[in-house]
A and B are shown apart, each in its own frame.
Chain A
């Protein structure tokens, strides 16, 4: 646009066409910078609300249930789980893939949406990143205990064992160790780096000595000078750039655990992209599952996490859910078109074998249910959104169960077939991980700023150094 036209349009009211180009504001009700600090910090600084104690009264016992069952498992043996031959991976690997997948939405929001300059991410990235960390904590429990003798888990680390034998670096299970531990470490670094300026805000608002000491140490002496912001922004950009391929690699490596085997139903090249899309799909569902109640409790947060945000997240769920649906159909097509009798049989058993209910539950939850998000009504009414995202949450668990349990239950030889039945320990441990996840999240809400204050301030119109100047000057 030339300078002359720019001058003309800035003086006159916008036409209908031009109005469409104006983006809706990211922060509603013209909230000021001071309000953002005050409100978000007040959640951390105020008196602990009653609902928080009530929630903790539910989640802490569940956490303890999980931990005591893990102690029971270690002291007794893996036999307390229902794992058997042939279903040796059963619920533990199902739950591992389920939880690690949930983490992916957090990294997607914090890294990929950052690189693509999606400014709406700023009000949800902190909570989503926290969710990533807590989901990876829950995920990490399973492979560590699945090894059986958990005190031998150090065999996974790159040190030789007693016979001077080193790890097999060509094993996808070892790749997984490196991928998941790198993911967890980088997620913590990314999250903490984002927290530093906000911890400084909390430090500067502190009234009591103890809080001042704790937040003061955690804020690392941050002063907010541009000579600091300069390196800080570069570090954040680099971390985003590193996390983007990392998040895509983690679930790809998880899928290699299956894809590099020769088991029919697992040995497919579609697995890495299909796993990554599914992870983002399930992760966004979990972000919404957590954020909608949080914003209902802290009503003014609705000015920061707006219906517009929810609408966008629902669209991502619709997109990734459709990719997942396409992958399911393509799997079926290749099983038929590939003309491998074992592959065909594997998929026949998935859909019509003894685990048919899991397969169709997966199909309904992941492919049919998200299609409601084509309609704006379902994307903008928060109660509907919350109900509908429970389907991806369940569906993604069923997907991993279908991939793992039904495939292993029907191997090449009928003599090796067998069914898997979870024990009460399986079930209660899994329920307990939800308690652990929720407890960690409740602690996070109580003690750390739930929304990235400095980034939200930076997307306000007055944060622009040219705010108030006409564009042609």
Chain B
């Protein structure tokens, strides 16, 4: 079996290459059924239905973004009523400064809701993905560079409770994986 990375460093996991999105999908279903926990499939593009094949639930991001949007909305409410009704009521054309003036405040409420939701969506996504980071053990594997081009990979991590290097290798081979490689850290 191939080995990459610093051989004295702890093993990150075992990787295997697959030839198509379909092969990867079928392999993912079998790895899920075998009961592995710490593993992932890698592909140049998101594969439709892969979440179910891996047995994962819907991303939590949508719920997080709701609170981001709520923060934006409340910021706008506080900012506009706080300044226009309390700190320095500005009477323009005899218009009210109390709650009745709320329609004129809708555009800013809307924009800040969108703004903070978008920030939460992007930075929340990065946070959930553990990004940004400059390096990763998988980058020790030269072949893995093709994942952003046209190749598909599976990696089962050594942290997984069911991990043992021999059985995982045989298992990946039985799924049709090629170039099975043990990946060490730096």
Contact = CB atoms under 8 A, between A and B. Distances in A.
A197 to B, nearest CB: 7
B136 A223 contact: yes
Contacts of A200: 148
B145 A204 contact: yes
A166 interface: yes
Given A170-B101, A220-B132, A229-B50, A189 B122 contact: yes
Interface string A143-173: 0000000000000001010001111111110
Contacts of B22: 462, 464-469
Given A166-B87, A220-B132, A234-B59, A256 B107 contact: yes
B44 A33 contact: yes
A238 to B, nearest CB: 4
Contact of B125 (A37, A174, A193): A193
Q: How large is the interface on B (under 10, 10 to 19, 20 to 34, 35 or more residues)?
A: 35 or more
Contact of A238 (B62, B115, B148): B62
A235 interface: yes
B150 interface: yes
Interface stretch (A73-81, A242-250, A339-347): A242-250
B42 A223 contact: yes
B107 A253 contact: yes
Interface residues of A, number: 71
Contacts of B112: 178, 182
A27 to B, nearest CB: 13
B99 interface: no
A6 interface: no
For chain B, what secondary structure do more than half of its interface residues adopt (helix, strand, loop), or is it mixed? Answer: helix
Interface stretch (A7-15, A358-366, A453-461): A453-461
Most chain A Cβ neighbours within 10 Å, of B87, B101, B107, B128: B107
A383 B142 CA distance: 45
B119 A174 contact: no
A464 B48 contact: yes
Contacts of B111: 175, 178-179, 182, 246, 249
Contacts of A422: none
B108 to A, nearest CB: 5
A223 B46 contact: no
A353 interface: no
Contacts of A414: none
6 contacts: A37-B44, A170-B104, A186-B115, A224-B43, A233-B59, A466-B22
Interface of B: 20-22, 24-25, 28, 40-51, 53-54, 56, 58-59, 61-62, 65, 79-80, 83-84, 87-88, 90, 92, 95, 101, 104-105, 107-108, 110-112, 114-115, 117-119, 121-122, 124-126, 128-129, 131-136, 138, 145-150, 155
